[in-house]
Each structure stands twice: as structure tokens, then as C-alpha cells.
Amino acid sequence: MGRYLEATAHTFPVAGSFTISRGSRTEIHVVTCAITQDGIKGQGECVPYARYGETIEGVLADIDAAAKAIASGLDRQHLQQAMKPGAARNAVDCALWDLDAKLTGQPASSLILPGPPKPILTAYTISLADAETMAAKTRENAHRPLLKIKTGTQDDEARLRAVRAAAPDAKIIVDANEGWDEDNIERHMAIAAELEISLIEQPLPAGKDDILAKIQRPVAICADESVHLTKDLASLKDRYDAINIKLDKTGGLTEAIVMKQEAERLGYTIMVGCMLGTSLAMAPAVLLAQDAAFADLDGPLLLAREREPGLVYEGSLVHPPRPELWG
């Protein structure tokens, strides 16, 4: 079995800017892994994330280090041991899924789902800004059934109230990106409960979230930065009600499927999320999210330019990927 592997870096512009508690971006940097066999190419995308110590250069080096084994026929299951979890393995894993689908003529969905995939509802993200600016952006998107708002400052009350007033009928996820602390967590949760917020994502820094096991949680709390691998799940059950599964954290769709099954067994609510990437990164996650309680796969909607062809979005509905994109 002869394979040819190529990994390349690409930059895509953000529409305006994208701001969370850790900073702002006007462009994104992604790595595309392409694996070719018998003239057929499979592709996967990852987004190296500085929060986890990842860089474009490091991801490219990790993929290059595994290239010989992959070219020799390394499959997805053995890939889990050959590469560490994270962005690099995600790009390779998803490229192998895509390659297998194209070589066999069997869609990736047929190996994951009991039936054909359907369009799913995705959250739409409102970037962190002052309360007035966030309210204005929310009003522009108040027709969307599910919004995700970025917070994570010492005092987010005005933001929470302004956004809820601007979208009184929408379900809202609040993502603090580790930006709250023990001094304000209970007050912010009480405000969120009053405003009927559906979910609070990663309010406290990973590793500094013990207080969540000791206080009342009037709104469901979702782990993001605190959870990467299936083995993390059991130890978080006293602090979190939901988990956000991202392929760039798990190291690909293969591990994400295992994590989702174990999380469901443990009674977690499931969110399937993403880094800020293109449709190629979202495509496998759309299949994973088919029966998830929450999907946050709006990355392409936040870009000024992305891949062609991309996923089809109709409002907040995202359609399953077409074979020419992935899977």
C-alpha cells in the first residue's frame, strides 16, 4: 500500500475580529493534511491552539514525524498510539477517514450513524466586547434559535443582561473561556439562572475549578479546557454537567467517538464544538454532533473567506458534508 502524505499551513481572514477573554484575532492559521493513495486524496484540517502549547510549526513537525508510518499503511486505530492527542493527530485521523470513504465508496457517516445524517442546529457566536456592542450584534442575530456569547471578565452582568434583552427568545450558551474566578462565579451563575441561560461553558480555569463541586449550580456547567481525553471524564463528574468535545482536543474523530460514548454512559450532556476553522474542520464534527444536545460548529460563518466547496448553512442549520468536501 503506497501513500503520499502532505501537510501545509493556510491562513483565512476572520470577518471583522473574533475576541474571547484571552485576546482577539483577525485571521486564523490552520494545517491541512492530505493523504493520497491510488490517485485518491483524503483531507483533514486542524487548528493548532496556543492555549494548549501548539504552534503551526510544531504540528507540521509532528505530522512529518509520523509520515513514514502513515505512508506505509498505518490505520486509524494504530494512529491513536503512534501520535499524541491534539491538533496534529486530528488532521491525520480525519484525512484517513476521508481517504477510506473515498477509496471504498462508503460515506464516513455509514460507519458512525444508524441512518443518513441530517442538518443540525448550530450555535452562532457573539464575540466578547462591551455590553452595548454585544447587544447590537445579538440583535442582528436574534432570529437565530441558539446563540453563544463570549464573556470572561470580572463583571459580566451588563453583558449578560444586554444580550438577553436583545434576544429574549433565543437559547443562550455563555462561554467564559476560563475568565471567571471563585469570587464572582456564584454571582454570575445566579444572574445566568435569572436570565434562563441554557449552559455555562468553562467558567473557571482548568485545574482551578474545585469550587464547582462545592457550590450550587443553578445552570448546567460545561467543561471545555478541562476535558481533552476519555480518561478525563470520570474525574470531572462532580464539577461538570456537560462536556464540549472538540476534535482538535481529542486528536481526531476516532477518539471523539469513544469519548462521546463514554460521556453518555456517565450521564453528561454532550456539546460538540470547534476551534475557529473552515468547513473542512467542521465536516466530521457535524456527523459526531447528529444527536448532541448542543452543537457549536459556526466557524465558517465567522470567516471572511473559506474553502470551496464548503458546508451548506441555511441560517443556523448546517447540512452534512458533501463527498467533495469530506467523508
**Alpha-carbon distances, residue 2 vs 74, 104, 212 (angstroms):** 11, 16, 51
Q: How many other C-beta atoms are found inside a 10 Å radius of the C-beta of residue 160?
A: 21
Q: Distance between CA atoms of 123 and 145, rounded to whole angstroms?
A: 8
Residue 1 CB-density burial (10 A; 0-12 exposed, 13-18 middle, 19+ buried):
exposed
Residue 118 is a catalytic residue: no
Of 27, 25, 31, the residue nearest 10 (C-alpha) = 31
Q: Which of 102, 137, 148, 246 is catalytic?
A: 246
Do 18 and 302 meet the contact criterion of CB atoms below 8 Å apart?
A: yes
Q: Which of 150, 171, 231, 249 is catalytic?
A: 150
Close Cβ partners of 208 (under 8 Å, ≥ 6 residues apart):
none
First to last CA, the chain: 21
Is residue 214 among the annotated active site residues? no
In angstroms, the CA 197 to CA 238 distance is 21
- Which set of grid coordinates corresponds to residue 251? 486528536
Under a CB-based contact definition with an 8 Å cutoff, are residues 139 and 166 in contact? yes
Residues recognised as catalytic = 150, 246
